[in-house]
Every structure is written in C-alpha cells, then in structure tokens.
Amino acid sequence: MKLRFADERDIDAVASVHLAAFPGFFLTSLGRRFLIEMYRGFLSHPSGIFFVAEEQGEVMGFAAGTSAPDEFFSELRRRRAIFFLLWALPALLRHPAIVIQKLRSAIFYRGDKPAGLEGGALLSSIGVCPDVIGKSVGKRLLHDFESEAFSRGVGFVYLTTDEAGNDRVNKFYKNNGYFVESRFCQGASRAMLRYVKNSQSQ
C-alpha cells in the first residue's frame, strides 16, 4: 500500500471511496458530482491537506482536511457555492425540506473549531474502501495527515464524529492518541464528539 499526496487524477476515485465508506450519510446523498467538487476544493486550496492510499494503482482510501479552516471554508463558499447548489439539485428535488436545512448548515460551515482554541488543523474526512478495513490503511492515512499538519506549524489536529452508534470509529481515534475535547448537538438531536490531538502527542 502506497500513501501519497492526492492530485486531480484521484478526485473521481476518492468520490467512489466516499460513497462506499459512508452509505446513508448526508453528503453521500448529494451524489458523486457534489463530492467531486468538495474534494477538489481541498486539492486546490493552499491550506488543503489531502492524501490517498493506493494499491496497484487503485485508490483505496483518503484523508482530507485543512490547516486553516476559517480561511478554507470562507474561500470554498466564495468560489464554489454555485457548483455545490447545482450538483445538489437532484437531491434537493427529492427531499427539499431536509436538503435545504442541511445544505444551509453545510454552506455556512466553519469547521466546528474548538471554542477558544486557535491554530488547529481540521481533519474533515477520512475514508477507506470496505475491502481494506482492518488493514491499518486508516491509521497510516491519519498519521501522514497529522505529520503534514504539524509540519505546517499547527498546534493540534481536530475532527468531529458521531457519538451514538459509532463505537468502531470512536475507538479508532482514541487508540490513535485523540481525546474528547467536547460534546455538542448538530441540528436538533445528533450527538457529536469533538476530538483533539496535540502536536506534542505525536
């Protein structure tokens, strides 16, 4: 398994891995073209940190995020909001009330930065093909993401994930040196955990 920085040729394959890794999630429901546009944003922004894991030339996993979340999401809205709305249109027509509410939250998303903490990198998404779960692909992607983030001078890496029904993922982050910084609700009732790992912990 080879890990390397992502490039434009990987974007479609990354969208495929996302679709396979996150069935039933909101971003998945918005479709391939929406995901392609989103991951292209990580690739094109100077603060983007974007790795892929490949085996025999096939992308089997990815990790994407940013070392400057406020700047990244502000720029993403300014330059790509029209494309996000365009590619979300089919889902919007199927489920207008749900998609409008969640898309509005996504468009104004600022990275769920820990309150009072500045200078952190956000791990926005990490996913692996179901075929390679349990083969340490996610662990290697996480390590390379952290190493790149800390080499840019950030003090910590943070991420958010579901608290309920998500034992495997929560165990993964705890086993890799992350601690629960806080809990919060997304929407009316979705319980979320915010994990942090300091640069000194690596």
Residue 52 lies in a domain: yes
Residue 83 lies in a domain: yes
- Is residue 175 assigned to a domain? no
* 74 is a domain residue: yes
Q: Which long-range contacts (CB under 8 A, 24 or more apart) does 46-50 make?
A: 47/71, 47/72, 48/72, 49/121, 49/145, 49/148, 49/149, 49/152, 50/5, 50/6
pLDDT value of position 21: 92
* Amino acid 11: pLDDT: 96
CATH label of the domain that carries residue 148: 3.40.630.30
Alpha helices in the chain (DSSP H): 11-21, 26-29, 32-44, 69-94, 96-107, 137-151, 167-175
Q: What is the pLDDT of residues 142-190, one digit of tens each?
A: 999 999 999 999 999 999 998 998 999 999 999 999 999 988 887 667 8
Residue 166: inside a domain: no
Q: What is the DSSP letter of 51?
A: E
pTM for this predicted structure: 0.82
Q: What is the pLDDT of residue 167?
A: 93
Whether 160 is in a domain gets the answer no
Question: What is the reported pLDDT for 113?
Answer: 63
> Is residue 121, in this structure, part of any structural domain at all?
yes
Number of structural domains found in the chain: 1
Report the pLDDT value the prediction gives residue 85, as an integer from 0 to 100: 56
Report the pLDDT value the prediction gives residue 125, as an integer from 0 to 100. 93
* Residue 122 maps to a domain: yes
| Parent domain of 64 | 2-155
Q: Looking at residue 180, what is its pLDDT?
A: 94
Tokens 């995020």, residue located? 65
Low-confidence ranges of the chain (pLDDT < 50): 87, 95, 99, 107-108
**Residue 189 identity:** S
